[in-house]
Amino acid sequence: MTDNFYKDIKFVKNPDDILVLVNKNNRLPSNFIPSDLVPIDPKYANEGKLVREEVKIWFEKLSNDAKNLGYKIIAISAFRDFNYQEQLYNYYAETKGQKEADLISARPGHSEHQTGLAVDVEGSNNNYNEFDKSIEFEWMKNNAHKYGFILRYPKNKEKITGFKYEPWHYRYVGKEAANIIYHKNLTLEEYHRLYLKKNRLLCFSICF
């Protein structure tokens, strides 16, 4: 892991942007709560799981299409506010130590779950920790991008994301970005650097 995580931290300027980058160096205000949170239909999630409206539409379609093919993909975690994430992170820090906690849990303000754009899922084996051993994982790995979702913390990208591999954690970015990220095997950090940052610099040079 790099030593740059949780250093030179910046507050995100666009927390409502579908492509917002929230990670160990980009954080959300502690009071940020998306204004369009809605519950996922209990057919596709544990009761009371909230996401943004656009995410609800596409996750329910994903889960329903998977169901029609004989798969079970259920959201077991979605929006978390700052205080909930603080309690969760502190629990891991106290029980596992801060170094391990930082590999498996985001510090408060640095969690994608606070954006309302992330879901943790489980399959028919009813064990999110072993989602990659379920029959659903292969389908999800090959099809999530068609619905605008990406596997946010993939294998062999830990030095970029700062987190251990999480086969259960999916982030909504919209179909256009998800398609690029999937086919080019990128993380969201790499997508921002290669596409969004480059476009901003190009616009700046042209517009000014």
HEC string of the chain? CCCCCCCCCEECCCCCCCCCCCECCEECCCCCCCCCEEECCCCCECCCCEEEHHHHHHHHHHHHHHHHCCCCCEEEECCCCHHHHHHHHHHHHHHHCHHHHHHHCCCCCCCHHHHCCEEEEECCCCCHHHHHHCHHHHHHHHHHHHHCEEEEECCCCHHHHCCCCEEEEEEECCHHHHHHHHHCCCCHHHHHHHHHHHHHHHHHHHHC
Buried b (16+ CB within 10 A) or exposed e, 92-102: bbeeeeeeebb
Active site residue 100: no
Q: Among the options 130, 138, 166, 176, which is catalytic?
A: 166
Q: Are 25 and 6 in contact (CB under 8 A)?
A: yes
Catalytic positions, written as ranges: 166
